[in-house]
Structure formats: structure tokens, C-alpha cells
Amino acid sequence: MNIKKITAFAAAVIMAAGICTGVPTGTGTGSPLAVTVSANTVSQNPGASAAQYNTPASYSATGGNGTIDVKWEAVSGATSYYVSADKKQANGSYMSAAYKNVTGTSCKFENLPADTYCIFIKSDNAEYGVSLDGVVVTGNESKKDSTKTTNEKADSFNLTPTLYDDGTVDITWNEIEGAYIYSIYAYYGISSELSSAVVSTAAKEDFDSNGRGRVKAISSPKYTVDISKLPKGETAKIQIVAFDKNVKNMGIYKTIEIKDLKVNKRSGTSSSSSSKSTKTASGKPYIPTVKLYDDNTADVTWKEVKGAYFYAIYVYIYDDWDESVSQEMIFVSPTAKKDFKSGDLSVKAISEAKYTVDLSAMPKGGYAFIYVAPADKNNKSLADTEGVSTTDLKVNKRSAASSSSKTAAPSNFKASKTKNSVTLKWDAADGADMYRVYKYNDKTGKYEKYKDVTSAKCTVSGLSANTKYKFKVVSYSKNKDGKYVKGESSKAVSVTTKK
């Protein structure tokens, strides 16, 4: 069974270059598993050894005249599957010729060029997938092989690296006709991520792109890639993939290995990347430090930049299919004494270059990209930024000492009422900065948020006469970063409106 793990930063590469790497072999058993070839069918039956990876216990692919029929055994707990048909290129890498997201346990690829393919299958509740190589598609020779033809343009990238002593590589390339976005991915091994960026030489300013995250505007096809985290003895690889203005993969990509290169000295004043913003003094991209915790939060820290007026924190959350779930931008200043406005932006004053971001919207199997960008008084970025993915981060336990202690629950409630409203008053809780009032919904059987208030009272209006209502109030306090932290909840308070 050929087990393949998909990392977050590998998503762009997967869509361009496929996932398969060769003939299926056993994983977890210590010996190869039998691959059965019958006519045009390639199948595999790893059985119970697949359970630990949430991969299919058996699967097969049958090639036909321009078609491949794929079948697999259902994975417990899975609701959908990603299936791709990858075709081997002349350089030994794989190119995704077609892919599907399906809810059943079979699918069919049609209108494929005659060739030999590798099929990859991954369930939505797994980190790993499985692959089957050697699936032969016959006939259909008249169909244009757009995948192969397209990536014949790869050499026109003329991707050229220059290695520096600070663990970075300057790459330059020739522009591809029709390309609007370039995805740059540095890795080692099969897909162990070092760094990643998405850039555009055509855009005038940075922008958010659906499916590719934050896109950096650069003035020319030149970029500084960080490979400083490369393990000793490994070889770094850099791949560039072209996308059009609709963020469609053009099927044109180029991969180079960073080896046997002269190591150049990086001048402290050189600006090796052509971003339409100022470089940091070291010439390196500006990358925050992210520490992930088990309470669905992450602590983000960064180095302060001379001349920075505030810092923009970008949090992009994706599901395990690389689809956008949410995007959030937070603006903070560790030097300001109070909150302020910078143009249309609301900036929070914080005590240090550290902020806790909320990742509760991240689904199971999903991941987040987190960027920090220093900005001047004109809201212009002062550094080229690179994001950090949460995919391979260790999950730390949030200790009671490091998290804000919960504020006490509101108490001693008093209520005044009319036919159509109820006014609740309570004793203020020590340390509370805000209260969230909940009203019970008889139809759903749940308490639902009604209103946030900063004083120890709230009027609930729009009620029906002579009707019993139930309420709860939860206290909140601000942490040192100005973020509200949930405290204790009051007991239910019942009030009947007047007749």
C-alpha cells in the first residue's frame, strides 16, 4: 500500500504535479503487499493494515478506452473522497491529469489520453492517501494530451537560483504568457515543507485569492525563498507553478534542486526580493513564530520593525480540501498606549509583540495560514511576509497559568417587566469587562445570544405578554492583548411578562 501524506503547503504542488511516486508498497507491515494485475485492472488488498491510516482496505482501478473506473472499500467515518488520475512525466514526476471529489466509493474518469496512470485515493478523515500505479488507458489516441503538451513549456520558465549564506535562495524566472499568479514551494524529500509563497507580477498590490490565499504583488519575476530550516543531509527543492487570472492551474511548472551551488554572501543592505514593499534589514522574508495550543488558539509572536506604526495579522483557515473556511485580519500595535484609527483600520493597543488568535473555525483535518505584516502610517507594508502553516506544528497544552483565569458568574439578579420587555440587573462580577446575555429558544431547546453589554444590566424587548422567558448571562474579561475571554455563566433566570 503506497501511503502518501498531504501537507498544507503541498496543496498547490499536488494540484500541479500529482501525488503518486511509484509502485505501491507495504506501509506499516514491513513487507511489500501484493499488487494484482488482471487484464487492464490494477488492484490491491492491504486489509487490516489500512485501518491505522483511515485508508481503504481494498481498491482497484480499471483502464479502458480513454477511461479509468476506480472502486474502493468504504473508510469508516469518511463522508467524501478525493481521487486523482496522475500521469508520469519525462522527468519522473507526476502530473495530475484529472481529479474528483466524490461521496460514494467509486468514480469514473473519461476522455483521458492513452497513457499509463497512477490513481490516488484519500478520504476526508485521513491525513494519508493510497496510490495504484500502472493503470493503462488504451485507444483515444486522437485526443490531445494537454497535460503533456502544456508542461513542455516548463523549460521556458528558465528558473534560476542564487544561494546565500543566510539560508535563502533568490530565484528568477521568465514570465509565462497568460500567467497571473505563481505559486512558489520550497521542500525536501517528497513534500516536507520549508516555505511557500504565492506571488503576482501583474497585480499592483497584495490581494486575497480564492483557493490560493494571500497573493503578494512583486514588481518583477524575482523572489527570495527561505530554506533555512533544511535538515542536514537533505537537498532542498523549489517548484514554481503558473496559474491564470481565474486562479486556474495552467499545468505549467518547473522544479529545481538546490545543490552544488556557490554560496554567496548576503549584503545587509541588499534587497534580493522584488516585492513592492521594503525588505527587512537582513534581506530575509518576515516570518512570525506560531505556537499552537489545544484550546483552538495559537500564540503569534514577531520581531518589531523600526518605523512600524502597527502590525497586520492575517489568519486564513482552510478545510482538508484546501477550500477557504474563513479569513480574518487583526491590526495591533505593541507601542501604542491606547486603541486608535489608521485610516479606515481599527488598531488595538497591545503590551508586547505577541497576540493570541482564535482558530475555533478550523475544521477537523483543516489548517491555518498565519501572516504578520508591519505597516507604516500610510498603511503600507514594511516587509515581505511569509505565512506559517499550522499543519505540522506541535499542539501544546494551554496551562492554567498561561490562560486568563475565568471571571466569576454574574449573580443577585433583579428583574423589572412590562408586557413586551424584561429588564435584567445583576451584581457586577469582579474583573468582568463585558456580559453576554442569552435567551432560551423553546423551539430549538437552546440558549441563543441576545446581546453583549458592558454594564450590569440589559433590556430584552420584543417579547409576548403573559409569557415565561428564561435567560442566562456570561461574564467576559479582556486579556492583555485586548481579546475577550469567556468567564463563568450565571444560573438560569426565569421571568414572566405582564398580562
Using alpha carbons only, give the angle 266, 269, 274 rounded to the nearest 5 degrees.
85
Range of 102-116, 235-249, 283-297, 415-429 with top mean pLDDT: 415-429
Question: 61 and 32, same structural domain?
Answer: yes
Residue 260 pLDDT class (50, 70, 90 cuts): confident
Supply the pLDDT for residue 446: 84
Question: 259 and 162, same structural domain?
Answer: yes
d(CA 477, CA 407): 7
d(CA 132, CA 21): 10
Question: 192 and 82, same structural domain?
Answer: no
Residue 160 pLDDT class (50, 70, 90 cuts): very high
Question: 139 and 9, same structural domain?
Answer: yes
Cell numbers found for residue 469: 422567558
Range of 6-10, 78-82, 273-277, 410-414 with top mean pLDDT: 410-414
Identify whether the C-beta of residue 316 lies closer than 8 Å to the C-beta of residue 211. Answer: no
- The CATH number of whichever domain residue 188 belongs to comes to 2.60.40.10
Question: 98 and 10, same structural domain?
Answer: yes
Supply the pLDDT for residue 37: 41
Dump pLDDT digits (tens) for 167-209: 889 999 999 888 999 988 888 876 677 888 889 999 888 887 6
262: left (phi over 0), alpha (psi -120 to 50) or beta: beta
Taking alpha carbons only, the member of 481, 311, 285, 290 closest to residue 370 is 290
Dump pLDDT digits (tens) for 20-29: 543 332 222 2
Question: 420 and 353, same structural domain?
Answer: no
Domain boundary among 143, 171, 197: 143
Question: 314 and 214, same structural domain?
Answer: no
Q: Position 446: which residue type?
A: K
d(CA 378, CA 382): 11
Taking alpha carbons only, the member of 140, 14, 145, 141 closest to residue 90 is 145
Supply the pLDDT for residue 459: 94
Q: Domain for residue 378, yes or no?
A: yes
Question: 32 and 139, same structural domain?
Answer: yes
Q: Domain for residue 284, yes or no?
A: no
**Integer CA distances (angstroms), 112 to 18, 69, 82, 98, 324, in order:** 15, 12, 18, 8, 30
Q: Domain for residue 272, yes or no?
A: no
Mean pLDDT (whole number) for 70-81: 87
Mean pLDDT (whole number) for 103-125: 85
Task: Say which residue, 448 or 99, is predicted with more confidence.
Answer: 448
Question: 466 and 363, same structural domain?
Answer: no
Q: Domain for residue 213, yes or no?
A: yes
| DSSP 3-state of 48 | helix
Burial bucket for residue 488 (CB in 10 Å: 0-12, 13-18, 19+): middle
Burial bucket for residue 485 (CB in 10 Å: 0-12, 13-18, 19+): middle
Q: Domain for residue 190, yes or no?
A: yes
Q: Where are the beta strands (DSSP E) in 10-114?
A: 35-38, 41-44, 59-63, 68-72, 81-88, 94-102, 106-109
Q: What percent of the chain has pLDDT over 90?
A: 21
Mean pLDDT (whole number) for 20-44: 38
Supply the pLDDT for residue 27: 27
d(CA 328, CA 347): 14
β-pairing, 263-264 with 160-164? Answer: parallel
Supply the pLDDT for residue 300: 94
Q: Give me the residues paired with residue 422 across strands.
A: 417, 460
**Integer CA distances (angstroms), 344 to 7, 263, 347, 376, 377, in order:** 36, 45, 10, 14, 12
- Alpha-helical segments (H) within 110-228: 146-151
Domain boundary among 396, 427, 462: 396
CA dihedral 258, 261, 267, 268 (to 10 degrees): 30
Structural domain for 155, as ranges? 151-264
Supply the pLDDT for residue 439: 92
Question: 102 and 31, same structural domain?
Answer: yes
Cell numbers found for residue 143: 485526443
Dump pLDDT digits (tens) for 325-340: 787 889 999 888 888 9
Question: 139 and 56, same structural domain?
Answer: yes
Question: Given a cut of 60, is residue 210 above it in pLDDT?
Answer: no
- Number of domains forming the structure of the chain: 4
Domain boundary among 121, 143, 165: 143
Q: Domain for residue 277, yes or no?
A: no
Question: What integer best gives the mean pLDDT of the chain?
Answer: 77
- What backbone phi and psi angles, to 5 degrees, belong to 157? -60, -35
Secondary structure element (H or E) that encloses residue 487, with its range: strand 484-489
Question: 259 and 171, same structural domain?
Answer: yes
Dump pLDDT digits (tens) for 128-150: 778 888 888 887 544 444 444 44
- The DSSP output letter for 336 is -
pTM (2 decimals)?
Answer: 0.38
Mean pLDDT (whole number) for 367-384: 84
Q: What percent of the chain has pLDDT over 70?
A: 77
